Structure 1
């Protein structure tokens, strides 16, 4: 007969592997869709400039502002993730950048558009750092090298996805592509349903509570 303790241990091990796979898949998906939204801007710069009746040089401020504000997001969201947990902060950053992407589609002026892209950069910087922490703290140690490589692959995958979405430009226009980019919200739903909080963060919280007691 099988030892019940051994059977339970094996079952728990399978559950841990399944959970690790969800963590990697969710983080990859979030980063890929984040990158896709960023590259959609680059692909549609000419169309945005014509829509606002400004020069291409003026619209080029959009990706510049996004990149400049990324460190702000990395710092703020990193601090928030240490205090409130990796999972809720990651979900929040995805919801924020998805909302900003949709709002960008309805920007009435270039100034509004540029402000939204600056805010997008904050969410962009936050999502990357928190997602990396969630992966590294959740997967087995033997997976970490592979997991970090998979996460890095999300950026070129996002570029490819944006290239494919750009084929819809004649049908949807640049504003329609931005609305489509808001579908990244579904990755937040996936994380909420299938990805647990970082076990290292939970252990740290328990240790802090015990120390305070």
Structure 2
């Protein structure tokens, strides 16, 4: 007999069992629905490309701005994450109020412009200022992208679609790593090339979304408003009142969602943001091998997210999250203890398989538990508030590793290096336990 909490985690009624088989539902999706999904997916991918362009360029940025401590550069990552909730609120409200299309187009154009501006910064203070503004622009992407991609699809494919959507994040990291591996060394502009690439993809994403119509679900909601006789003059007042009522009614759900997203963002940023630095500083890898290991880890992320999204359609969202988080705990030793490229790459693959596998369930989980009228604002704000709370993860690791050092042999000589391995292992282990707990006590 399975424990009670396992029964509680498995939904009593499954969408795939009640509705059409998955393959039948997939064949029934129209070209427009696929296009809407792709527009949301590529928007989320653009977000990740730019964000990880900084993580992969920490050493080069230190040289450009004459900085000696990696924690100085990670402060820009912290600022980006701190300002993202502002963008989530602004663009989420605009999307729920005026539609999915033009707020996302405007958001992507702002991302493209600020990404381009990042490449032209000449001082560290300019860099920090642009990255802070970029945080506002990035903050709006996730909620709008998830609403655009998922709300027009049939419910039978929501789990799989959620996993594929969330792996836009891993694909973005993968694109950044490939650009850093192949294009940056060949370009006289160096790390700035990464932001030119990010900006061009963001402009393409904005153009693609502008060529598509408004979300069908949003159009139906607006038609219902007209039927009810809601006038243009009082729409904003009514919307703000309904937002306040939603927060008063669902405040426990809001707190739960923020706590869940805090744990998830600590997991992803704690395992990814300083991973290339960890391999180079603590394990003595070259830039090339550190980047290749990053690419391997993101292959694990893509596989995990897609599989987990599909699995969640059958066993439920929460149980899927718990199983993939437990997988992380199993592979932490392989992720931090070895010194060979093959072993560490294998550990990175399976850690990200678990991290992004659990993450693959998040878009549809947040969308399904959100109040229906706020499916751009509620998930986006919860996600970005979690980002804000976890924004210091890179600095926590950098500072902790700086003070917790160990001796390693490099080129036959013992030297003292920051112990990123121990710090990351402790952080990820503790956060994984927290996410399992908060998932168990939460709603399906």
Do structure 1's residue 117 and structure 2's residue 134 form an aligned pair?
A: no
Deviation at 1:108, TM superposition (A): 2.2
Give the ranges of 4+ consecutive aligned residues of structure 1 lying more than 3 Å apart after TM superposition: none
Paired residues of 2:48 and 2:169 also in contact (CA < 8 A): yes
- Which of the residues 27, 33, 37 maps onto 1:24? 37
Do structure 1's residue 105 and structure 2's residue 119 form an aligned pair?
A: yes
Deviations 1:169-203 (CA, angstroms, capped at 9, x unpaired): 2222011221121112101111111x321112112
Indicate the structure whose relative CO is greater, using CA pairs within 8 Å and at least 6 residues apart. Answer: 1
Deviation at 1:107, TM superposition (A): 0.9
Do structure 1's residue 141 and structure 2's residue 159 form an aligned pair?
A: no
Q: Report SS of the residue matched to 2:160.
A: helix
Change in Cα spacing, 1:139 to 1:196, as seen in structure 2 (3 Å) is farther
- Which of the residues 196, 205, 227 maps onto 1:187? 205
Paired residues of 1:49 and 1:59 also in contact (CA < 8 A): yes
Paired residues of 2:41 and 2:149 also in contact (CA < 8 A): no
Aligned counterparts of 1:100 and 1:45: Cα–Cα separation in 2: 19
- Which of the residues 79, 100, 111 maps onto 2:93? 79
Q: Report SS of the residue matched to 1:212.
A: coil
Q: Report SS of the residue matched to 1:107.
A: coil
Do structure 1's residue 200 and structure 2's residue 213 form an aligned pair?
A: no
Unaligned runs of 5+ residues in structure 2 are 1-26, 232-444
Paired residues of 1:20 and 1:140 also in contact (CA < 8 A): no
- Which of the residues 185, 196, 200 maps onto 1:170? 185
Deviation at 1:38, TM superposition (A): 0.7
Aligned counterparts of 1:144 and 1:157: Cα–Cα separation in 2: 20
Q: How does 1:58-69 map to 2 (within 5 A)?
A: 58-69=72-83
Do structure 1's residue 126 and structure 2's residue 140 form an aligned pair?
A: yes
Deviations 1:21-68 (CA, angstroms, capped at 9, x unpaired): 101112111211220111111111111121122233222111111111
- Which of the residues 45, 50, 55 maps onto 2:58? 45
Unaligned runs of 5+ residues in structure 1 are 1-13
Deviation at 1:124, TM superposition (A): 1.6
Q: Which residue of 2 aligns with 1:209?
A: 226
Aligned counterparts of 1:189 and 1:196: Cα–Cα separation in 2: 12
Q: Which residue of 1 aligns with 2:291?
A: none
Deviations 1:87-123 (CA, angstroms, capped at 9, x unpaired): 1111111111111111001012211111111121222
How many residues end up aligned between the 2 structures?
A: 199
Larger helix proportion, structure 1 or 2? Answer: 1
Deviation at 1:15, TM superposition (A): 9.5
Please, what TM-score do these two structures have when normalized by structure 1?
0.87
Q: Report SS of the residue matched to 2:213.
A: coil
Aligned counterparts of 1:146 and 1:176: Cα–Cα separation in 2: 34
Q: Report SS of the residue matched to 2:191.
A: helix
Deviation at 1:136, TM superposition (A): 2.5
Aligned counterparts of 1:66 and 1:128: Cα–Cα separation in 2: 14
Q: Find the structure with the greater CA-based Rg.
A: 2
Q: Give the aligned CA root-mean-square deviation in angstroms.
A: 1.7
Paired residues of 2:53 and 2:176 also in contact (CA < 8 A): yes
